[in-house]
Amino acid sequence: MGRDASSYFHLVFFLALTLLAGCSTTGSAPETGEAGAGPEELMAAVRANEDRAVLELLSRGVRPDAQAGAEQTPLMVAATNGNRRIVRLLLAAGAEVNARSADGNTAVIQAAENGHLAVVRALLAAGANVNVSQGGESLLMKVVASGDLLTAEMLLAAGADVHYRRADGTTALDLARASNNQDLEMLLVQAGAAR
């Protein structure tokens, strides 16, 4: 599905959810939906990978970014779990793709750190910041440190900053060299990393 078709699908899906929930498209959805359904139920459904329950709760008007006393959003949990369907449901319902937890994590960081390539792709397509950093390291640096060549390729293709430096001056290329990962080193050099 192309980007325009995907955007159209998300718009139609969100409008359908809005109509089902009885909300105005100009107002914001309530944090707690009808029949007492709220953030706790949504987070539990996301943690349990219950796609249908997530859809039902969103259609009742539970906000997709509602945090149930946890510092993570439902999107972050779905990304950590690698559940692409739930990630797409939450995004279609308006979840903030670049929301940060108290420690600076985002959904795309968590998906990448857990090796969920398809979820990383979906989040980037939805506008996730490819140059997000957490704990002083860029997402690309985290992926390179873990040795994940495919995700590193995807991030570079999406515009990841190959020149990002930690406070100590370390770059993604330095991390690839330190781990003696010649494939990642070559990829980074081809992307413009300084030798």
What pTM does this model have? Answer: 0.80
* pLDDT score of 21: 47
What 3-state class would DSSP assign to 137?
strand
* pLDDT score of 194: 84
* Domains along the chain with CATH numbers: 1-129 (1.25.40.20), 133-195 (1.25.40.20)
- For residue 171, the cross-strand partners are none
**How many Å separate Cα 53 from the centre of its chain?**
20
What 3-state class would DSSP assign to 138?
strand
Residues whose CB falls within 8 Å of the CB of residue 109, separated by 6 or more in sequence, listed in order: 132, 134, 139, 142
* pLDDT score of 28: 40
* pLDDT score of 38: 86
* pLDDT score of 66: 78
Which regions in the chain score pLDDT beneath 50? Answer: 8, 11-12, 15, 18-34
* pLDDT score of 130: 97
